[in-house]
């Protein structure tokens, strides 16, 4: 399970990069309202990360007057426990929140691009970690299984 988590994190980060590129397109070229943009991203992206955008859409759709930044933060809080993302990854996503819906299109696009660049750097480090640790944890799991079988016998 630990090995799977190490292997899943780079895939999630790559999927987030793609999803944020879609969000950037929705905001810059489509001038789409954020709730609709989140919905579009949730429908068009990898299921690994579509939940994040679906949660943000749902928060904005409640009609309680919640800001896009608050909806984004709540979506992150709901999404992260079931993901393989770590504190560094979550921090990068949280920085984007206050900009969403709180500034002009150009500023939002600039911040989304900056977030994508940060996620790329984080993904590269995550891939290096995965290369080192996935095989180690797989071997430990296998050897632990053998040890249990030997103890039972």
Share of the chain above pLDDT 90, in %: 21
Spatial contact of 134 and 2, defined as CB atoms under 8 Å apart: no
Structural domain boundaries enclosing 31: 2-152
List all residues 6 or more positions away from 120 whose beta carbon is below 8 Å from its beta carbon. Answer: 17
Averaged pLDDT, 16-38: 86
- pLDDT tens digit string along 83-129? 888 888 899 999 988 888 777 788 888 999 999 999 999 888 888 87
Spatial contact of 128 and 7, defined as CB atoms under 8 Å apart: no
With cut-offs at 50, 70 and 90, classify the pLDDT of residue 3.
low
Task: Report how many domains make up the chain.
Answer: 1
- pLDDT tens digit string along 39-82? 889 998 888 888 999 998 988 887 777 888 898 999 999 999 98
| pTM of the model as a whole | 0.79
Spatial contact of 56 and 152, defined as CB atoms under 8 Å apart: no
């Amino acid at each position: 399970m630990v090995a799977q988590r190490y292997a899943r994190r780079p895939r999630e980060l790559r999927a987030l990069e793609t999803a944020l590129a879609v969000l950037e397109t929705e905001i810059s070229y489509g001038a789409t309202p954020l709730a609709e943009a989140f919905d579009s991203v949730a429908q068009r992206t990898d299921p690994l990360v579509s939940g994040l955008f679906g949660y943000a859409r749902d928060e904005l759709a409640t009609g309680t007057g919640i800001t896009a930044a608050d909806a984004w933060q709540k979506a992150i809080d709901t999404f992260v426990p079931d993901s393989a993302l770590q504190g560094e990854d979550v921090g990068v996503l949280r920085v984007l929140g206050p900009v969403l819906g709180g500034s002009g299109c150009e500023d939002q696009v600039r911040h989304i691009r900056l977030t994508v660049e940060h996620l790329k750097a984080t993904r590269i480090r995550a891939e290096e970690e995965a290369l080192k640790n996935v095989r180690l944890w797989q071997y430990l799991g296998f050897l632990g299984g053998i040890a249990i079988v030997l103890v039972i016998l």
